[in-house]
Every structure is written in C-alpha cells, then in structure tokens.
C-alpha cells in the first residue's frame, strides 16, 4: 500500500486526510505534519493518523502532499531537499507555486505534480486541477487523480493555465460566498428575518448549482428562463448591469490571477 504524508494539516490538508480515509485508505498508511502540538493531538484523536516531523514523513512516505501556505514553503523545501529521491512523488497544493520551484530545490528527477484545489474539498465537492512537472509521468498523474477523486472532481490542465485556474475555481467559492452574503443582507433590508433570508438564498444557490451541473443548457439559457418580459428579474438584471457587476467580476478574477503569478515570481532565483 502506498504511504501518503500530508505536510501541513490545515483545513485543506485535514479534508484530504478525511477523504482518503473515507475512500478506503488505512490510518496506518497515512501521515501528517503540523507545527502545533495541540493540533497534532486533535487530528490523531479524530482520525487515528500519526503526526510526524517532516524528516520522518520524507523517509516513510511514497507520496508527499505539500499543503502549507505559499509563504511557508522555503523551510519545508530546505528540509526535504536532502531526503527525497526520484522514487518519491511530491504533490503541491500551494497556490501560485510552479513545479519549477520544487525542481530547482529538490534532487534532480524528483517528480512533482502541481494541484489547485478549492475549499469545497471540506464537503467532498472540490474542483482540483492537476499539472505535471518536468519529471512527472502519466502514472504519477494517475496516482494524484486517484487521491483527489476521493474529495471531488479532477481535471488535468497545462501548467501555464494554473494561475487562471487559481483565480477562477481556487478562489471561486469566496466569490459565491460574497454574493450570498450580499443577497442575505438584501433580504434583511426588505424586511425578512436573517435566518429566513439565509434559508431562502442558500437553498436557491444549491438548486441553481444542481441545475447547472445536471443541465446541458448554457447558463445564459437557464438565466433567461427565469427572466420574464417586463418582470421582476429583468429589472434586477438591469440594475446589476447598470452598476457594472459583470465587469467588476472580470476585473476581480483577473486581479486574483495577477496575485497568483506574483506568488510564483516571488520565489524565482
């Protein structure tokens, strides 16, 4: 059985561990690293998975999933560099960090796969995009695809598209949460209790998402089906267009892409 170590057991790291357990992996075949002792105790008690130091994880694991914050990557790579060989597989979940960064810092031939997941991994509904580094093969991609399939859907993209993926789906849940927050506030403004406004909007969001996922129709057609001539919805759409909501969303996603690119450039030699 492949031994998998998750380096950095924050929300995403924990969600992956939970998904792997539910997918049939044994606790004894999983490891994690975490800097805070209380967090180590918490996760070990919850899942029966052993918390270890980075050095032990590197020595025991076949697959190392790096799930630390991008700004914390340097000390992790310093620890990994003398320990890994081409028989290891490194899976990076760090936003903005290219596979070339790992390839410069680790031994020649160590395969790296870059992944951009998102937070719906916490409810096994992630959208993860994977890209192969210089030494990663189709077999390595298959291993990563299998791991991530336990927590959502997986697509393969060229690495050059990863910053765009980060901006669109990596940050995407935050845009939806922001919109739902604003709509709940609108409900309160119109006189509805907060709890009722939340229930109405959240279920509307769930239903709309299901229609998008299960329908073959373009979102424009689904939106038009709600938009009757001279009705309430078209008046609302007119106000959204008047205030430049569509253009603002385009600019926001482009700004997120720029930031993702900047995170990668910050680690260039």
Q: Confirm whether residue 68 is marked as ligand binding.
A: yes
113 is in an annotated binding site: no
Residue 219 annotated as binding? no
- Asked whether residue 70 is marked as a ligand-binding residue, the answer is yes
131, two tokens: 């890209």
C-alpha distances in angstroms, 59 versus 43, 109, 200, 207? 21, 17, 51, 47
Residue 230's Cβ-count burial label (10 Å; 0-12, 13-18, 19+) is: exposed
Residue 96 · residue 263 · CB < 8 Å: yes
Per-residue H/E/C for 205-216: HHHHHHHHHHCC
Give the residue numbers of the binding site. Answer: 67-70
Mark the binding-site residues for NADP(+), compressed into ranges: 67-70
């Amino acid at each position: 059985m492949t031994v998998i170590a998750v380096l950095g057991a924050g929300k995403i790291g924990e969600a992956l561990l939970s998904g792997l357990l539910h997918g049939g992996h044994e606790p004894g075949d999983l490891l994690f690293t975490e800097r805070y002792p209380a967090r180590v105790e918490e996760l070990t008690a919850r899942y029966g998975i052993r918390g270890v130091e980075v050095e032990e994880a590197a020595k025991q694991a076949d697959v190392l999933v790096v799930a630390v914050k991008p700004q914390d990557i340097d000390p992790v790579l310093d620890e990994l560099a003398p320990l890994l060989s081409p028989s290891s597989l490194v899976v990076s979940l760090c936003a903005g960090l290219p596979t070339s960064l790992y390839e410069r810092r680790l031994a020649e031939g160590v395969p790296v796969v870059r992944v951009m997941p998102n937070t719906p991994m916490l409810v096994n509904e992630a959208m993860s995009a994977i890209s192969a580094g210089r030494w990663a093969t189709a077999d390595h991609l298959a291993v990563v695809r299998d791991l991530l399939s336990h927590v959502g859907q997986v697509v393969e993209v060229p690495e050059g598209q990863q910053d765009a993926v980060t901006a669109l789906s990596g940050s995407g849940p935050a845009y939806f949460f922001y919109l739902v927050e604003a709509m709940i506030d609108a409900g309160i403004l119109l006189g509805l209790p907060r709890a009722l406004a939340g229930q109405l909007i959240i279920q509307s969001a769930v239903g709309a998402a299901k229609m998008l996922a299960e329908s073959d129709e373009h979102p424009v057609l689904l939106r038009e089906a709600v938009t009757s001539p001279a009705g309430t919805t078209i008046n609302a759409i007119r106000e959204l267009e008047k205030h430049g909501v569509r253009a603002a969303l385009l600019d926001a996603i482009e700004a997120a892409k720029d930031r993702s690119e900047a995170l990668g450039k910050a680690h260039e030699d």
